Structure 1
Amino acid sequence: MEATYEAVSKHGYDSLTIQDIADEFEKSRTLLYYHYDGRDDLLVDFLEYVLYDFLEDLPETKDSARAELETLVETLLPETLDEDVYRIQLAMFELRVNGPHDRDAREQYLHVDKELKELLERIFTRGLETGEFANIDPTVEADLFLSLLTGTRTRRLTVYDPDESIQELRDAIATQIERIAANAN
């Protein structure tokens, strides 16, 4: 998986070959074919590997619900990206777009969406319980924020350069956070 990560970072998704991965792999190309039928088969396992790390790295704190939500936005949507991170995120996006045609990739993304939605629901529920948020349905807000976060990551990858600031997009999400926090006042 580390070899695949390096190869994807260098070559991106479209031009990536098994040979590119083998060039980064300490063992033989034959071993790759022993375990995988081809590039796409390997990339589904890579997707699971990357998404597992992604979920493990999500912040879940005991700070206020609003602070936790803001930290989650910062984690998922840093203002700029370095080139390697951008290329990996772009490859993951391309795999997501393939989801309707690749059941295994689709299942991985359904799992990640479910985990993110559950995290968001916990944040919104805690915010209701502590009075930080009011007049919201945690399930509805979780769906809305999941869509905002996913859409914003998609926009970043499709219309922004990696080193270009997405602060205006983050400000739009901050407006939504302010909206639900203002209801509590």
Structure 2
Amino acid sequence: MNLENYGKDMDPGKRDIMEATHSAVKKHGYSDLTIQHIADEFDRSKSLLYYHYDGRDDLLIDFLEYILSGFLANLPEKGTAPRNELDELINLLLPTTINEEPYRLMLAMFELRMNAPHDQAVREQYLEVEEELKAILEDILRRGIEANEFSDINVEVESEALLSLLVGTRARRLTVYDPDQSIEILKKAINSHIARISTADS
């Protein structure tokens, strides 16, 4: 995972904490993560962690923002073929197989997401990311219609459907599939849906 675009607007000290948290989460996951695990990955004093944060859960709210904003910053840039852009986005969100460490991070983000019904700060972070993803999907579909790559569909409805498919499939991959287990069949199901709105497949 390339951290170059992560935490660009953060205070350097906080960014160092986020990078240490990232390393700790990849090793220990979310449920077993402790402040000591983060301190073990941190080059500075553990007291600096407590200077910025009251505890693990407080720190993880900033970590969630760090990861999600970095994820958005690393999304594929606009190209000339909207259908290809959509395929790129799907592959980024849903790699067919995945190594153990990236899987741990994805799983930690999923476990944090489960706190959203009870934590407004977490809910707001995920709402922001989903709105951004939906806007990206709408833009791809609109440009695809103009380029005659997609049929004349209701862009808002289709982008909502695709977002739900992507989020739901990502949840399934994290709950019922092993990290190195292929999810090709799940991606084929998504591609089957896309084929129904693509002019090249009609």
> So what's the TM-score if we normalise by structure 1?
0.97
2:35–2:56 CA contact under 8 A, matched in 1: yes
Q: CA deviation at 1:17?
A: 0.5
Q: CA deviation at 1:135?
A: 2.9
- 1:148 counterpart letter in structure 2: L
- 1:50 counterpart letter in structure 2: I
Residue 28 of structure 1 corresponds to 45
Deviations 1:20-77 (A, max 9, x none): 1011111111110110011011001001111111111111332311111111111111
Residue 116 of structure 2 corresponds to 99
Residue 184 of structure 2 corresponds to 167
Residue 4 of structure 2 corresponds to none
Provide the C-alpha distance between the structure 1 equivalents of 2:201 and 2:111, rounded to a whole number of angstroms: 40
Q: CA deviation at 1:115?
A: 0.5
Q: CA deviation at 1:108?
A: 0.6
- 1:90 counterpart letter in structure 2: L
Q: 1:183 to 1:64 in 2, by over 3 A?
A: closer
What are the equivalent positions in structure 2 for 1:139-154 lying under 5 Å apart?
139-154=156-171
Provide the C-alpha distance between the structure 2 equivalents of 1:60 and 1:149, rounded to a whole number of angstroms: 19
SS at structure 1 position matched to 2:116? coil
Residue 19 of structure 2 corresponds to 2
Provide the C-alpha distance between the structure 1 equivalents of 2:179 and 2:188, rounded to a whole number of angstroms: 18
Residue 12 of structure 2 corresponds to none
2:132 counterpart (115, 122, 129)? 115
Provide the C-alpha distance between the structure 1 equivalents of 2:199 and 2:177, rounded to a whole number of angstroms: 31
| Residue identity (%) | 59
Residue 125 of structure 1 corresponds to 142
Residue 56 of structure 1 corresponds to 73
Q: Does residue 157 in structure 1 map to residue 157 in structure 2?
A: no
> So what's the TM-score if we normalise by structure 2?
0.89
Unaligned runs of 5+ in 1: none
Residue 13 of structure 2 corresponds to none
Q: CA deviation at 1:129?
A: 1.2
- 1:75 counterpart letter in structure 2: L
1:12–1:90 CA contact under 8 A, matched in 2: yes
1:135–1:184 CA contact under 8 A, matched in 2: no
Residue 134 of structure 1 corresponds to 151
Provide the C-alpha distance between the structure 2 equivalents of 1:14 and 1:4, rounded to a whole number of angstroms: 13
Unaligned runs of 5+ in 2: 1-17
1:135–1:183 CA contact under 8 A, matched in 2: no
SS at structure 2 position matched to 1:37? coil
Provide the C-alpha distance between the structure 1 equivalents of 2:79 and 2:31, rounded to a whole number of angstroms: 41
Q: Does residue 44 in structure 1 map to residue 68 in structure 2?
A: no
- 2:56 counterpart letter in structure 1: R
- 1:145 counterpart letter in structure 2: L
- 1:129 counterpart letter in structure 2: E
Aligned residues: 185
- 2:74 counterpart letter in structure 1: D
Q: CA deviation at 1:183?
A: 8.3
Q: Does residue 76 in structure 1 map to residue 93 in structure 2?
A: yes
SS at structure 2 position matched to 1:80? coil
CA root-mean-square deviation: 1.2
